[in-house]
Amino acid sequence: MLPASTSASQQGSLRLTLRRLGAIKVDSESSPSGSLGLSTKAAIMSTPSENPQRAPWRDLLHSHLEQTPGYEFTISTIGYNAQQRPVPRLRTCGCRGFFPELELHPDGQEAMDQQVEGGGNPPVFESDMLSFTTDARMDKLPQLEASGHAIEAVFWLKDLMAQWRIKGTAYAIGNPSGKDAEEENTSRTEIRKALRVKGDNNSDIAKWTWEKAVTKYFANHSPVARGSFRNPPPGQPRSSAPSQPDLKLGQKVLDLHDPVARENFRVVIIRPEEVERLDLTDQENCKRWNWTLIDGSDGSRWNEMELWP
């Protein structure tokens, strides 16, 4: 139990630390092969969500994002400098909405209809988890793995005079090796814990696959954006010629299963553990709220507290 004198932000930080220690323990206990037997896979897919109800902040954040065309957020991870000291690493990413409920543009849906069985997954799941895509060759993923998957994301929605901060853990999916890759296996397990079944859709759960979920995100990119995953390795000197002749700039990818691009494509899912909203619409009476995810014997719940801004 945390001391009563501990501030709300300090309590949230302590809870996040404890959660991340737990995440590291899970990783260390994963099987060497990273594979799942059929019975284990079935158990994971049928495990009820730890958060059976929508988070109290979710609908408002969704509404704010819907009012903000082309919304991006700033992502912070923990890296290490040449002296192996921890340093913050920031970058701006395009938010892809709540996983797995990505709304495809018409061209993306047409590609899914033509190239993916059933046109994609049945709409059986929802969650409070935000998503973005990245290249597996960038530094984000190693930094997440080295820090117990710790992440923080910030939206500044200027037109609404609102700031949202989301702290939690992040997991990447999309490894072509699927469940046979240990990190992919861990990611799917952790993400599944926070998925909720929508309505009475239990009969369709067996039709839902991780592969189709990732392919939908790939389809939502334009052919040129898909081709960026066939670029030379990001961050390497431009004077160095790529070792693979398939890697070059300006390619267009129409095949949603292109092996070179899909080798590098990943979807990153953020499991929120603490959320803050700052409302600056009234400069004379600014407002701030904090929601912290608290574990209980009957599952998890969100604790809401209004703070001084």
Q: What is the CATH number of the domain that holds 15?
A: 2.30.110.10
> Do the domain assignments include residue 80?
yes
Rounded-to-integer distance, Cα 74 and Cα 92, Å = 4
Tell me the pLDDT band of 52, cut-offs 50, 70 and 90: confident
Instruction: Give the residue carrying structure tokens 């300006």.
Output: 250
Query: What is the helix (H) or strand (E) element at residue 39, kind and residue range?
Result: helix 38-46
| Predicted local distance difference test score (pLDDT) of residue 11 | 53
Is residue 57 domain-resident?
yes
- Please tell me which residue, 223 or 21, carries the higher pLDDT value: 223
- The Cα 157–Cα 280 span in angstroms is 10
What does DSSP assign to residue 249? T
Residue 238 lies in a domain: no
Q: Assess if residue 302 is contained within a domain.
A: yes
Half-sphere exposure of 53 (CA within 13 A, CB side): 9
Distance CA 219, CA 122 (A): 16
Q: Is the pLDDT of residue 26 over 70?
A: no
Q: Is residue 97 part of a domain?
A: yes
Q: Are 261 and 154 in contact (CB under 8 A)?
A: no
212 domain residue, yes or no = no
Contact 274, 293 (CB under 8 A): yes
Task: Calculate mean pLDDT across residues 68-97.
Answer: 94
- Between CA 171 and CA 189 the distance in angstroms is 10
Is residue 220 situated within a structural domain?
Answer: no
Q: Which two tokens stand for residue 196?
A: 């909720």
Higher model confidence: residue 207 or residue 1?
207
Q: Which two tokens stand for residue 171?
A: 């997991």
C-alpha to C-alpha distance for 276 and 299, rounded to whole angstroms:
22
Residues 6+ apart with CB under 8 A from 217: 96, 102, 131, 133, 265, 267
* For residue 40, pLDDT beyond 60: no
- CB proximity list for 109: less than 8 A, separation 6 or greater: 119, 219
Domain that holds residue 275: 8-105+118-205+264-307
Angle between helices 38-46 and 182-192 (to 10 degrees): 30
pLDDT (average), residues 84-89: 94
In a domain, 225, yes or no: no
Structural domains in the chain (count): 1
Question: 236 — phi, psi (to 5°)?
Answer: -85, 155
- Helix (H, G, I), strand (E, B), or coil: what is residue 79? strand
Query: Where does the pLDDT of residue 300 fall: very low under 50, low under 70, confident under 90, or very high at 90 and above?
Result: confident
